[in-house]
Amino acid sequence: MIAGAGPDTPLQQSFVSLRHGGRAVGAGVLVAERLVLTCAHVVNSALGRDRFDQDTPGPGDPVTLRLPHVAAGRDLTGRVVRELWSPPRATAAASTPVRPGQVPYHGDLAVLELDAAPPAGAEPAPFLQHSYANETIALWASGNPLPAVRAVPRVSAPPWIALDVLGGAEVTEGFSGGPLWDRARQAVVGLVAAVHRTPEPAAPGAPPTTMYAISVPAIEAELPALPPPAVPTARRGVQQLLTALERVLQGHEAVQDCEERLAARLGRPSAGPAADLERLVGLAVGVRRGIPELLDLVRDHAHQPAAGPYDPHPRPGHHGAREDWERLRRAARTVRPGEYLTTRQRRDLSGLLAHCTRTDPRTLLERVLPHAPELPAVAGLADVMDALEGFSSLTGAPVPPLLQGVVRISVEERAAGAYPSEDLDAWVERVGARSGVDEAAVSQFRADVVAAAAPVHTPAPGPTGGAAPRVQVELLPTATGRRFTYQIWTLADPRTHRLALVRDAEAGSEQVVDDIRRVLRTEVREDPETALVEYFLPSAWLGLDVDSWESPDGDEDGPFVPGITRRVVVRTTERSRESYAGWKQRTAALPHAKHLVLDERHTDRRVARAQLEVHRDAGTVIVCCPPDHHGTLLRQCVQAGVHTVLWHRDEHGAQLARDLLDLVDGADHTEVPEVVRLERAKAIAEPESTAHHGRRLSLLYDAPDHRPPQLAPDAWVLTQP
């Protein structure tokens, strides 16, 4: 039915529509000749069940499907493959139900096996891991190209990818389970799972809708029994690979043996006696992780014992053939630069990383790639491994970045016990040996990492030991600025960032504070240091006096005033690429940064911006001007990447500017929130002193160790498309 080959032909040949009662309810994608991948909640909808039903559909629960671009009017029947059913669950480890509004959740994947062969023209889709630079498209359940959505991946937040919707149709029910198609790379990069939608009508300048998709690594981890999906046909390096294989696999029997075993590993049919090098390479380059699987099999074949003392063909690892083996490995990296591990090696590593709790993902990436011009966004150790797998040892380092990362994790985790550190070491030893990495080089690298870590002193528990827990409140004000929807996150350390509460019905400031108190009591263990409360606001609403909000005097403890008993700071959710560049520059200048005052002389936006450009090393800015100019100057500071802005919401003048400068003078940037909290407390403790500058004192604080959460969008009205 496809008239001609176009840019989306592979998508159209594989796109599947799931139906219930004669209408499309969701989508899926053909991943093998008779296997369809989709979301479990889409299968439940197609069967007329509750969206989050956990029970595995049986053989008596047929699902109606169509391939709308191949045979539009023909209904097909598929049934759930029992071992490939992964219903939605709240956590990665336990099969607990998903709470309303919880994001992200885990699982939500299913595979259907067609009762009969698909129509002529249907082809399994190629898959690749997503790229942050590429625009993607998603089709509605019917497959009609008109209601298509265009989106760009913003951040990986395993098991999901968050994408900013750029245009096209509104993301509504029916997109779920459908393939996320990267037109530039000609591959599926995920399955659409959910969307956060801005409330109607959207405020002027509102951020784009955020769409979520289940990533390819998450699909592979959730469904280990799923046959490896196809990948786009590789061209670069294929001739190099063929030439290198001819030198290592000599003779038809060797080629046939490797082809049969590779086909069995990849779940593809073997050509049998007709196998040749072109068929072997074509099989490997056509399947995700097929190249690492090929190298693994060729290594096993090449390491078989020699036929006799006069065997004319030396093996890799023997002196005469090491150069050929290295040539083969270089060719393989040219064909698939982002694939180093076999499917089983990657799965084994993911299982070990799930037990690692001490290693910070971002810090690990920075240590392994200290000279990378731009590091990818990561939200977990598995995400770091996916990033490192794509980096080669371009500097000639004997240990590739991926193995360096695992060695560093092992060293850091050893302080918590032998497991999983010793198993990580064994994994590195085994994978390194099979990849041709010298064992002595790995041992020396590990010794260097241990020696570098030895002098580090771990602070004893106490008032200054460890990072304080944080409560992050993301507010979306209404037009009046008096009612809000919001969600509250808790952050105990960089690895335990979790959503604690969602309120999508409008509430007042007293309800916000009550919910903060509830989260502090039930979700946060406040030792060794008092929690920090962070309010995230759109830049247009930075003037909201959230730091002075309190709950009503409703119990024996009296009103709860976070600004007095907790350190309360204001942050913004709208740092652009340009402002982030300024933020990084000011971070580098913090050790010798000076303070800057913006007063009534700088209320013109051009003057304020010029001052901030001249003082690009200023880490703290004092805003001291009439209150009606606060919003303008605060936005200028955000755009310039300023970390810390201190201002009084009511007063201004030269004396106040001097008082606020004295307040922060000599204080490290990490101490400023506590200094401000104490000034607020002093003002309340002295009721007779109505002029104390601690009253109505506010702090915009976006310091280097306080980056915004990566997953949460600015607005959240959760729907399940």
Phi, psi of 438 (to 5 degrees): -65, 130
Q: Is residue 694 predicted with pLDDT exceeding 90?
A: no
Identity of the residue numbered 219: I
Least trusted range by pLDDT, from 455-464, 569-578, 591-600, 694-703: 455-464
Q: Say whether pLDDT at 322 is over 80.
A: no
**655-673, pLDDT tens digit by residue?**
899 889 888 887 777 888 8
What digits encode the pLDDT tens for the residues 443-487? 888 888 888 776 544 333 333 344 678 898 988 888 777 888 888
Helices (H), 166-215: none
- pLDDT winner (highest mean) among 17-21, 142-146, 592-596: 17-21
Average pLDDT of the residues in 301-312: 49
Model confidence at 314: pLDDT above 80: no
Q: Tokens 């129509």 map to which residue?
A: 119
pLDDT for 499: 78
Alpha-carbon distance of 607 to 640, in angstroms, equals: 13
DSSP state string for 613-680:
HHTTT--EEEEES-GGGHHHHHHHHHHTT-SEEEEESS--SHHHHHHHHHHHTT--GGGHHHHHHHHH
**The amino acid at 64:** T
Mean pLDDT of 330-340: 85
Q: Is the pLDDT of residue 169 over 90?
A: no
CB of 531 within 8 A of CB of 566? yes
Whether the pLDDT of residue 516 is over 70: the answer is: yes
Tell whether the model's pLDDT for residue 570 goes beyond 70. yes
Q: How far is CA 290 from CA 243, 265, 266, 296, 418, in A?
A: 18, 9, 7, 10, 33
Q: Select the more confidently predicted residue: 6 or 435.
A: 435
Hey, what amino acid is at 188?
Answer: V
Beta bridge partners of 210: 164, 196
User: 10-24, 72-86, 575-589 — which is least confidently predicted?
Assistant: 575-589
The DSSP secondary structure of 449-508, one letter per residue, reads: HHHHHTTPPPPPSSTTSSPPPEEEEEEEE-TTSS-EEEEEEEESSTT-EEEEEEEEEEE-
pLDDT of 318 above 50: no
Range from 46-60, 494-508, 621-635 carrying the lowest mean pLDDT = 494-508
| Nearest residue to 1 (alpha-carbon basis) of 139, 121, 170 | 121
Q: What is the mean pLDDT of residues 106-133?
A: 91
Q: What confidence score (pLDDT) does residue 316 get?
A: 46
Q: Which of 217, 211, 28 is nearest to 104 (CA)?
A: 211
Token pair recorded at residue 28: 């899926």
Higher pLDDT, 668 or 605: 605
527: confidence class by pLDDT, cuts 50, 70, 90: low
Residue 299: name the closest of 440, 439, 437 by CA: 437
Helix, strand, coil percentages in the chain from 3-state DSSP, rounded to 5: 35, 20, 45
pLDDT > 50? residue 320: no
**Mean pLDDT of the region 409-435:** 90
Q: Residue 702: name the closest of 612, 641, 653 by CA.
A: 641
pLDDT in the model for residue 708: 43
> Is the separation of the CB atoms in 551 and 529 below 8 Å?
no
What's the CA dihedral at 418, 528, 549, 705 to 10 degrees? -50
How far, rounded to the nearest angstrom, does the alpha carbon of residue 364 sit from its chain's CA centroid?
Answer: 15
**What CA–CA distance (Å, rounded) separates 137 from 42?**
19
Structure token digits, residue 211: 């769409």
pLDDT of residue 40: 95
Q: What is the mean pLDDT of residues 332-337?
A: 85
**Per-residue confidence (pLDDT) for residue 208, from 0 to 100:** 67
Integer-rounded Cα Rg, in Å, for the chain is: 29
In this predicted structure, the answer to whether residue 72 has a pLDDT above a threshold of 70 is yes
Q: What is the pLDDT at residue 709? A: 42
Question: What pLDDT does residue 4 have?
Answer: 46
CA distance 684 to 706: 28
> For the residues 571-599, what does the mean pLDDT come to?
78
Asked whether residue 251 carries a pLDDT value surpassing 80, the answer given is: yes
Which tokens is 200 given? 């109607």
pLDDT at 306: 43
How many other C-beta atoms can be found within 10 angstroms of the C-beta atom of residue 707?
A: 14
Q: Which residues have a Cβ under 8 Å from the Cβ of 304 and sit 6 or more positions away?
A: 315
190: pLDDT strictly greater than 70? yes
25 has a pLDDT exceeding 60: yes
Q: How far is CA 555 from CA 191, 299, 340, 533, 547, in A?
A: 48, 72, 60, 22, 21
Return the pLDDT at 529.
Answer: 62
Listed as own residue / partner, the contacts of 485-492 with beta carbons closer than 8 Å and 24 or more positions apart are 485/199, 485/715, 485/716, 485/717, 486/512, 486/515, 487/101, 487/712, 487/716, 488/515, 488/516, 488/519, 489/709, 489/712, 490/519, 490/523, 490/524, 491/709, 492/524, 492/525
Higher-scoring residue by pLDDT: 161, 712: 161
Q: How far, in whole angstroms, is CA 235 from its chain's centroid? A: 29
**Is the pLDDT confidence value at 438 over 70?**
yes
**More confident position, 112 or 653:** 112
- Tokens representing 428 are 């590195």
| pLDDT (mean) for 666-686 | 84
More confident call, 259 vs 316: 259
Q: Is the pLDDT of residue 168 over 80?
A: no
Considering the chain, what is the average pLDDT of its residues? 82
Give the lowest-confidence range in 106-115, 372-381, 650-659, 664-673.
Answer: 372-381
| Mean pLDDT, rounded, for 269-274 | 89
Strands (E), 48-103: 63-67, 71-86
Return the minimum-mean-pLDDT range out of 156-160, 446-450, 594-598. 156-160
pLDDT band for position 203 (cuts 50, 70, 90): low
Give 577's pLDDT tier (boundaries 50, 70, 90).
Answer: low
Give the highest mean pLDDT range of 255-269, 453-467, 566-580.
255-269
Mean pLDDT of 698-716: 58
* pLDDT for res 495: 56
Give 526's pLDDT tier (boundaries 50, 70, 90).
low
587: pLDDT confidence band, cut at 50, 70 and 90?
confident
pLDDT at 373 (0 to 100): 60
Answer whether 106's CB lies under 8 Å from 160's CB. Answer: no
User: Which of 172-181, 297-306, 422-431, 459-468 is predicted least confidently?
Assistant: 459-468
Rounded to whole angstroms, the maximal C-alpha distance in the chain is 102
Residue 107 gets the label, from left (phi > 0), alpha (psi -120 to 50) or beta, of left
CB 231 within 8 A of CB 10: no
